[in-house]
Amino acid sequence: MGENAIEIEGLTKTYAASGSQPPKQALKGVNLDIPAGSIFGLLGPNGAGKSTLINILAGLVVKTEGRVRIWGFDQDVNPRQSRASIGVMPQELNIDPFFTPRAALEVQAGLYGVPKSQRVTDRILKAIGLEDKAEAYARNLSGGMRRRLLLGKALVHRPQVLVLDEPTAGVDIELRQMLWANIRRLNQEQGTTIILTTHYLEEAQEMCDEIAIINHGEVIARDTTSALIGRMDAKTLVIHPEDSVALPQMPAGVDSCQRADGALCFTYRRSEIATGAVIEAVRNAGIVIRDIATQEPDLEDVFVELTSESKGAA
Ligand code: ADP
Ligand code: MG
C-alpha cells in the first residue's frame, strides 16, 4: 500500500444504448490519485459523471476500460480485497422497508463476511444516532434517519476508504452537521480516507483537503483546495461613497459597475493592478470613501470559470 488510497488510470465508461437513448460516454479517460488519509472532494455539475465514478469504485457499475486500485488492490486482480477496503454511501435512498436498522446492519455485515464476533452493530447504531430506532421498521424512519442508516451500512466492515455520494443533498442543517461531525471523526480518529461528492461548494471548501473538478466525464482540475482558490486572479473591490456619485474613469483593466445601493464595484486582476491604484483613481475623481471592502475569490468562482471554459471543448 503506497500513499494513495485510490489510483485510477484511463478510466472510461460508456453506457449502452437503450430504447431511443443513444450510447452515453459518461467517463472519458479519467486519471486520478486520491491520497490516503485525506478528505477528498469530487465536484461537478449534474451529469458530470461523479456517481458513475463512485459506483465503479463501489463495484456497482462495470467500467468499460481502465484500471482501478483501491488500497493497493487492483479491482480486476484482487476483486475481493479491493471491495473489502471500501464502503459506499450511495446517492439513492435504497433501503429495504421491512428491515429494522439493526437487521439492516447485520445483513450488510453478513454480505461482507464479517463474523458475528467482530460485528460492531451497537457501536454503529450509536454513532449514527439510531439507538432508539434500532428495532423500528425502516419504512417508519424519516428521510434523515434513512440517510444515517445508509452511512451505517457503509461502515459495517470498517473500510479504510469511505465514499459518500452527495451525502447532504436535500437534508436539513442539523442532520448535515451531524453527518459532517461523524465523517470528520472517522477521518481524524481512525484515519479513514473520505471521498465525497457534493454540489455545495461551500461545503467542499470547508471540508475537503483536496478537490477534483469533473465536467463532461473529464477531470478538468485537481489540486489542494487552497491552491485551487489561489489560482483565481480576479479580485473585486467594493467602495461605498459618502455621497451619491457617478462611476469614475478607471485605469485600463478595471471593470467597473455600480450597485443598486450606490456602491461602486471594481474587478481587476491581482497580478496586474494594485489595489492602491484603484483606490487612488477613485480619490482622484473627488469621491469621498465612506467604507471599503474586498471580495476574494472562492471555490464557486473557480468552479464557474473552469466549467464554462471546458464547455466549448466538449
Ligand atoms: P453525476 O453523478 O455527476 O450527476 P452521473 O454519473 O449520474 O453524473 O451521470 C453521468 C452521465 O451518464 C449522465 O449523462 C447520465 O445521464 C448518464 N448515465 C448515468 N447512469 C446511466 C445509466 N444507467 N444508463 C445510461 N446513462 C446513464
Ligand atoms: Mg450523482
Work out the average pLDDT over 115-130: 92
Angle at alpha carbon of residue 71, lines to 69 and 75, rounded to 5°: 35
What confidence tens digit (pLDDT) does each residue in 217-261 have?
Answer: 999 999 998 888 777 777 889 999 999 888 999 999 999 999 888
Q: Is residue 165 part of a domain?
A: no
21 CA: nearest ligand 1 atom: 25
Write the Ramachandran bin of 38: left for phi over 0, alpha for psi from -120 to 50, otherwise beta: beta
Does the beta carbon of 199 lie inside 6 Å of ligand 1? no
**Is the predicted pLDDT of residue 298 greater than 50, yes or no?**
yes
Full-model pTM: 0.80
**E strands present in 52-97:** 65-70, 73-74, 86-89
pLDDT of residue 311: 53
Q: Which of 13, 18, 24 has most ligand 1 atoms within 8 Å of its beta carbon, as the pocket-test mutant?
A: 24
Q: Is residue 264 part of a domain?
A: yes
Which residue from 163, 168, 191 is spatially nearest to 178, judged by alpha carbons?
168
DSSP state of 111: H
Asked if 215 and 306 touch (Cβ cutoff 8 Å), the reply is yes
Q: Is residue 181 part of a domain?
A: no
**Is the predicted pLDDT of residue 46 greater than 90, yes or no?**
no
45 CA: nearest ligand 1 atom: 3
CA 99 to ligand 2 center in whole angstroms: 26
Structural domain including 254 reads 233-296
**Distance (Å, whole) CA 42 – CA 196:** 6
Nearest alpha carbon, ligand 1 atom 14: 47
For 211, counting Cβ atoms within 10 Å of its Cβ (0-12 exposed, 13-18 middle, 19+ buried), the class is buried
**Distance (Å, whole) CA 145 – CA 271:** 49
The total number of structural domains that make up the chain: 1
Nearest alpha carbon, ligand 1 atom 23: 15
**Distance (Å, whole) CA 142 – CA 150:** 12
Work out the average pLDDT over 21-46: 95
Work out the average pLDDT over 163-169: 87
Structure-model confidence comparison of residues 250 and 206, the more confident one: 250
pLDDT of residue 141: 87
Q: Is residue 50 part of a domain?
A: no
Mean pLDDT estimate for the chain: 89
Q: Is residue 154 part of a domain?
A: no
Does the beta carbon of 55 lie inside 6 Å of ligand 1? no
What confidence tens digit (pLDDT) does each residue in 189-198 have?
Answer: 999 999 999 8
DSSP state of 169: T
CA 114 to ligand 1 center in whole angstroms: 32
Alpha helices in 196-298 (DSSP H): 201-207, 225-230, 275-284
CA 257 to ligand 1 center in whole angstroms: 40
Q: Is residue 206 part of a domain?
A: no
pLDDT of residue 140: 83
pLDDT of residue 241: 95
CA 50 to ligand 2 center in whole angstroms: 5
**Is the predicted pLDDT of residue 138 greater than 90, yes or no?**
no
Question: From residue 157, how far is each of 104, 112, 113, 148, 161 by CA, in Å?
Answer: 13, 7, 8, 16, 11
27 CA: nearest ligand 1 atom: 10
Query: Which amino acid would we find at residue 47?
Result: G
Asked if 172 and 269 touch (Cβ cutoff 8 Å), the reply is no
CA 52 to ligand 1 center in whole angstroms: 6
Does the beta carbon of 90 lie inside 6 Å of ligand 1? no
Give the three-class secondary structure for 108.
Answer: helix
CA 154 to ligand 1 center in whole angstroms: 22
Q: Is residue 202 part of a domain?
A: no
Q: Is residue 282 part of a domain?
A: yes
pLDDT of residue 1: 45
Q: Supply 138's cell numbers.
A: 425502516
What confidence tens digit (pLDDT) does each residue in 172-187 have?
Answer: 788 888 888 889 999 9
Residues with CB under 5 A from ligand 2 (ion): 50-51
Rg (CA), the chain: 24
Does the beta carbon of 19 lie inside 6 Å of ligand 1? no
pLDDT of residue 277: 92
**Distance (Å, whole) CA 311 – CA 309:** 6
**Is the predicted pLDDT of residue 273 greater than 50, yes or no?**
yes
Does the beta carbon of 20 lie inside 6 Å of ligand 1? no
Work out the average pLDDT over 12-20: 95
Does the beta carbon of 241 lie inside 6 Å of ligand 1? no
